[in-house]
Amino acid sequence: MPVEDKARSLKRTGSRKGRPSGKVAVAPAKNAGAATAIPQPQPGLADILDLKDLKDLQKALAEAFGVASVILDPGGKAVTDYVGFAGILNTVARSDGLTFLTCMEPSLITGSMESTEPVIEQCPRCGLLYGIVPITAGSHRLANWVVGQVLDRDTNVEDLIAAADAMGVDGGAYRRALADVPRMTRENFGKVCRSISLMARQLSLLAMQNLRQARDIVAREEVEEALRTSELRYRQMFSNSPFPSLVYDIETLEIVDVNDIALKSYGYRREEFLSLTVMDLVASECVSELLDILATPSANRYSAASRHVKKDGTVIDVEVTGHLLDFPGKQYRMITVIDVTERRRTEGRLNFTQAVVDRVVDCIFWLDSNARIIYVNESACRTTGYSRDELLSMTVFDIDPGLTKEGWEWHWKEKKASGSLLTESYHRAKDGRVYPVEISGSYLVYGNQEYNCTFVRDITERRKVDQQLLLTQFTVDKAAAIILWVGEDARILYANDEACRSTGYTREEMLELVLPDIDSSFTPPAWKDHWNEVRQRGTIVFESFQKRKDGSLYPVEIKGNYMEYGGIGYICSIAFDITERKKTDELLRMTRFSVDQSAIPTFWLSMDGNALRVNKAALDSLGYTEDEMLGMNVRAWDEDFPYKAWKDHICPELKARHSMTMESRYKRKNGSKFPVELNLNYMTYGGNEYVFAFAHDISERKRADEERERLQAQLLQSQKMEAIGQLAGGVAHDFNNILTAVIGYGNLLEMEMEEEDPLRAYVEEILASSEKAVNLTQSLLAFSRKQSISLKHHEINDIISGVENLLKRLLSEDIDLKISLTSPGITVMADITQIQQVLINLATNARDAMPSGGMLSIEAGHVRPDDSFLRSQRQGGSLYAMISVSDTGSGMDQQTQARIFDPFFTTKEMGKGTGLGLSIVYGIVKQHNGFISAYSEKDVGTTFHIYLPAVEERTSEGEVKPSAAKRGYGTILLAEDNPDVRRLATSVLRKTGYSVIEAADGQQAIEAFMANRDSIDLIIIDVVMPRKNGREVVDQVRVVRPDAKVLYTSGYTEDILSDKGMDDTGFAFLAKPLSPHELLRKVEDILTTT
- Nearest CA to 28 out of 237, 221, 224, 290 is that of 237
* DSSP state, residue 1045: -
* Whether residue 485 is found in the same domain as residue 551: yes
Query: What pLDDT sits at residue 21?
Result: 41
The answer to whether residue 712 is domain-embedded is: no
The CATH number of residue 338's host domain is 3.30.450.20
* Whether residue 572 is found in the same domain as residue 609: no
The answer to whether residue 217 is domain-embedded is: yes
pLDDT of residue 850 exceeding 80: yes
258 near 245, Cβ under 8 Å?
yes
SS3 string, 234-273, reads HHHHHHCCCCCEEEEECCCCEEEEECHHHHHHHCCCHHHH
* DSSP state, residue 1000: S
* Whether residue 68 is found in the same domain as residue 213: yes
User: Which secondary-structure segment (H or E) carries 88?
Assistant: helix 87-91
Put residue 252 in one of left, alpha, beta given phi > 0 → left and psi -120 to 50 → alpha. alpha
394 phi and psi angles, rounded to 5 deg: -115, 170
The answer to whether residue 977 is domain-embedded is: yes
The answer to whether residue 497 is domain-embedded is: yes
Residue 35's pLDDT band (cuts 50, 70, 90): very low
837 near 920, Cβ under 8 Å?
yes
Q: Is 202 exposed, middle or buried (0-12, 13-18, 19+ CB in 10 A)?
A: exposed
* Whether residue 439 is found in the same domain as residue 542: no
Higher-pLDDT residue of 957 and 1047 is 1047
Query: What pLDDT sits at residue 780?
Result: 57
Distance CA 579, CA 767 (A): 100
Query: What pLDDT sits at residue 34?
Result: 38
* Whether residue 50 is found in the same domain as residue 199: yes
931 phi and psi angles, rounded to 5 deg: -145, 160
The CATH number of residue 910's host domain is 3.30.565.10
Of 174-178, 393-397, 554-558, 902-906, give the lowest mean pLDDT range. 902-906
Distance CA 244, CA 339 (A): 9
User: Which of 885, 919, 951 lies at the terminal end of a domain, its last residue?
Assistant: 951
Contacts of 421 (CB under 8 A, 6+ apart): 411, 414, 415, 439, 440, 441
Q: Enumerate long-range contacts of 558-561, CB under 8 Å, 24 or more apart.
A: 560/530, 560/534, 561/534
The answer to whether residue 754 is domain-embedded is: no
Residue 10's pLDDT band (cuts 50, 70, 90): very low
- Mean residue pLDDT of the chain comes to 79
- 539-550: average pLDDT: 91
* Whether residue 977 is found in the same domain as residue 1070: yes
CA dihedral 5, 6, 10, 12 (to 10 degrees): 40
pLDDT tens digit sequence for 478-517: 777 888 889 999 999 888 888 899 899 998 999 999 999 9
* Whether residue 214 is found in the same domain as residue 78: yes
Query: What pLDDT sits at residue 26?
Result: 40
* Whether residue 398 is found in the same domain as residue 313: no
pLDDT of residue 375 exceeding 60: yes
- Nearest CA to 978 out of 1054, 1031, 1049 is that of 1049
Query: What pLDDT sits at residue 276?
Result: 92
Amino acid 348 reads G
Q: What percent of the chain has pLDDT over 90?
A: 14
The answer to whether residue 763 is domain-embedded is: no
Distance CA 782, CA 840 (A): 12
Query: What pLDDT sits at residue 749?
Result: 78
1031 near 1062, Cβ under 8 Å?
yes
* Whether residue 171 is found in the same domain as residue 254: no
pLDDT tens digit sequence for 651-698: 888 888 888 888 888 899 898 989 988 888 988 877 888 888 888 888
* Whether residue 68 is found in the same domain as residue 197: yes
Query: What pLDDT sits at residue 109?
Result: 53
570 near 563, Cβ under 8 Å?
yes
What range does the domain containing 200 cover? Answer: 45-224
- Nearest CA to 486 out of 554, 546, 574 is that of 574
Distance CA 442, CA 428 (A): 22
- Nearest CA to 132 out of 152, 116, 154 is that of 116
What CA–CA distances, in Å, run from 1000 to 102, 996, 1030, 1057? 131, 13, 12, 19
pLDDT tens digit sequence for 12-31: 433 333 344 444 444 343 43
* Whether residue 220 is found in the same domain as residue 82: yes
Bond before 1042 cis per omega within 30 degrees:
no
* Whether residue 474 is found in the same domain as residue 562: yes
Residue 36's pLDDT band (cuts 50, 70, 90): very low
The answer to whether residue 749 is domain-embedded is: no
Residue 725's pLDDT band (cuts 50, 70, 90): low
Residue 113's pLDDT band (cuts 50, 70, 90): low
User: Which of 577, 606, 637 lies at the terminal end of a domain, its last residue?
Assistant: 577
- How do 553-565 and 539-547 pair as beta strands? antiparallel
- 247-255: average pLDDT: 89
Residue 38's pLDDT band (cuts 50, 70, 90): very low
Beta bridge partners of 302: 322
Q: Is 895 exposed, middle or buried (0-12, 13-18, 19+ CB in 10 A)?
A: exposed
Query: What pLDDT sits at residue 1066?
Result: 57
pLDDT of residue 815 exceeding 80: yes
Higher-pLDDT residue of 235 and 724 is 235
- 344-364: average pLDDT: 73
How is 473-495 classified by DSSP, letter by letter?
HHHHTT-SSEEEEE-TTSBEEEE
Query: What pLDDT sits at residue 17?
Result: 37
Query: What pLDDT sits at residue 714?
Result: 59
The answer to whether residue 584 is domain-embedded is: no
What CA–CA distances, in Å, run from 754 to 750, 759, 997, 1065? 8, 9, 31, 40
- Give the total number of structural domains in the chain: 7
The CATH number of residue 1000's host domain is 3.40.50.2300
Residue 303's pLDDT band (cuts 50, 70, 90): confident
Query: What pLDDT sits at residue 23?
Result: 43
pLDDT tens digit sequence for 986-1037: 888 888 889 999 998 989 989 989 889 888 999 999 888 888 888 889 889 8
How is 373-423 classified by DSSP, letter by letter?
EEEE-HHHHHHH---HHHHHT-BGGGT-TT--HHHHHHHHHHHHHHSEEEE
- 270-276: average pLDDT: 92
> Nearest 5°: CA angle at 191, between 186 and 194?
125
User: Which secondary-structure segment (H or E) carries 530?
Assistant: helix 524-537
* DSSP state, residue 831: -
- Nearest CA to 839 out of 873, 870, 884 is that of 884
pLDDT tens digit sequence for 116-139: 778 888 877 677 888 888 888 767
796 near 827, Cβ under 8 Å?
yes
Cα dihedral sign, 465-466-471-476: positive
Query: What pLDDT sits at residue 732?
Result: 66
Beta bridge partners of 664: 676
Higher-pLDDT residue of 855 and 763 is 855
Q: Is the whole-model pTM more than 0.75?
A: no
- 439-443: average pLDDT: 88
User: Which of 425, 458, 491 lies at the terminal end of a domain, its last residue?
Assistant: 458
pLDDT tens digit sequence for 885-929: 999 988 888 777 777 776 666 766 654 555 666 777 887 888 788
Contacts of 699 (CB under 8 A, 6+ apart): 674, 675
What CA–CA distances, in Å, run from 454 to 64, 66, 350, 380, 458? 53, 47, 19, 11, 13
Report the SS3 class of residue 466: helix
Strand runs labelled E in 138-210: 140-152, 183-184
SS3 string, 95-156, reads CCCCCCCCCCHHHHHHHCCCCCCCEEEECCCCCCEEEEEEEEECCEEEEEEEEEEEEECCCC
Q: Is 789 exposed, middle or buried (0-12, 13-18, 19+ CB in 10 A)?
A: middle
Distance CA 1083, CA 1090 (A): 13
